[in-house]
Structure 1
């Protein structure tokens, strides 16, 4: 380890269900550090099972931030996370030299590490209108809208990612301009070192872990949890895998088994998009989530 003390954030990223939580907790314990979650859904108090929030025992093992810190009624995005995480890190660095950041929301991690472009926020009415149309008419409608109204963005968009597409459509409807027009590509300088690591497993193992996790979610009460938030189904926080499929079941569009199968399939697709996102950044060191992972990360310090 570098003998010269330097404030450092160690990022542990990777796809859903790969094993990030266990590695991050073991690392934080070894470093006597706290964890900042970089998960865009675990921050909501009302959501637990469907977002695979760490267990009470895991949360008690190491201090965690950005877990159950907000309500689904609040607007939380990459810009909000950037400011929250920077303020938290600054506070932690008053007493600690190391902070661990763990999560799979690539845009949040990018915002923390590099900063965010100043993209206009949409008003609530515009957001609600787009969300309702997406819920009624599906991904194909959303894709056609973005393709027609913001072809520049569409060319490089994550075309299967409804959250990214809805955000681009919000910007166009609000400003009449492409979201690309607001991207500065300027990188913020942070007053601390950032070490980026990511976890991966063979695809067949990862997909089996995803399937098993969804089955466990159902056993732990995902259906009841989803019913508890059903009245708020149009909120942006609930436009996510695990909840939207169960809403389809409640609405009679899917059988329960079809909803469970759709959650598994859509989670696998999400994991694939996460891997694609992180692999675009050459700064990540890729590791297996095994007993050697923590030691390998420590060697990077």
Structure 2
């Protein structure tokens, strides 16, 4: 009997959490999160993590299970999530996964690309260059060394840019040349379900969500984390802009406008990433849940 992972994807603020809970309740199953910032227990408001009421409706995994002070790589997540899925598939034929972090979603579905070890001094040097000259300098280097990677990775994410650069420099080969090699086959089938809307609607929902976050105390949450702003987990939209405000670089109104702008840019990158999978079943965000379930059922052979 086949096992199925229903992967709920789409841009931020589109309604993925709500849909995943409805699907999990219908199929009497559990949810694993593939949102790389909802892992951290100190980050509640700014990551739009499920509320306690939502968490109480369905069992969730990988929500607030780590601290920002812990290193938690995508490789570690792959290991933990596959182990978790193996256990869940002993109890359920279907499990729901939800998340807007494209790399983390793909890692569970397809497996992680493996790279040679490189001298850690390279990363240290690149981090120093980031601090001194900003991300633009690193982006230019990557464009020269590996244009394919430059055009495909989250180019505004310093962690991703540095990772690609250290492989290019450390191996003398393009980062992209190590992608999509043989990976560990999965013992489940994946049905990807995407939510979409007109761009203007997505942007309106993002703006409204940011306003709600501010009303719910995002500034106080960021204040409580100010001493940790150097950590990678907090190099995140919604936090880094308010750190600028707390450092007296920006006034609050401008910082909030930057959160909205950067979140809109993030949503655009999410859509570009997720649309690479041509097998995804896409639905308008207002589509009736019964119709979505019927289309999923058509893909299932249980």
Fold in common (TM above 0.5): yes
- Asked whether the 8 Å contact 1:24–1:100 carries over to 2, the reply is yes
Residue 215 (1) aligns with residue 232 (2): no
Unaligned runs of 5+ in 2: 298-302
Partner of 2:56: 60
CA–CA distance in structure 1, aligned partners of residues 165 and 225 of structure 2: 25
Question: Measured at CA, do residues 65 and 265 of structure 1 come closer, stay the same or move farther in structure 2, by a change above 3 Å?
Answer: same
30-39 or 128-137, which deviates more: 128-137
- Measured against aligned partners, the alpha-carbon deviations of 1:128-152 in whole angstroms (never above 9, x if no partner) come to 6544543554332231232344445
1:106-147 per-residue CA deviation (whole Å, 9 max, x = no partner) reads 111111111111124677775565445435543322312323
**Match for residue 31 of structure 1 among 20, 27, 30:** 27
Q: CA deviation at 1:9?
A: 0.8
- Aligned CA distance change for structure 1 residues 141 and 254 (closer, same or farther; 3 Å): farther
- Name the CA distance, whole Å, in 1 between partners of 2:292 and 2:50: 23
Per-residue CA shift, 1:151-176, capped at 9, x if unaligned?
45335444344442122123345545
TM-score (norm 2): 0.90
1:274 to 267, 270, 276: 270
Note the C-alpha offset of 1:290.
Answer: 2.6
SS at match of 1:85: helix
> Post-superposition shift, 1:248?
1.3
- Matching residue within 180, 194, 208 for 2:176: 180
Q: Give the alignment's TM-score, normalised by structure 1.
A: 0.90
Contact 1:23 / 1:289 at 8 angstroms: preserved in 2?
A: no
Match for residue 134 of structure 1? 130
| 1:285 aligns with one of 265, 273, 281 | 281
Task: Tell me if the contact between 2:241 and 2:259 (Cα under 8 Å) persists in the aligned partners.
Answer: yes
SS in 2 for 1:88: helix
CA change 1:46–1:158 in 2 (3 A) is closer
Give the structure 1 partner of residue 67 of structure 2. Answer: 71
Is 1:83 the counterpart of 2:52 in the alignment? no
Which stretch shows the higher mean deviation, 55-64 or 161-170? 161-170
Match of 2:241 among 242, 245, 249: 245
* 1:51 equivalent in alignment to 2:43: no
Counterpart residue number, 1:199: 195
- Contact residue 34 and residue 99 of structure 1 kept, 8 A: yes
RMSD: 2.2
Provide the residue aligned with 1:100 in structure 2. Answer: 96
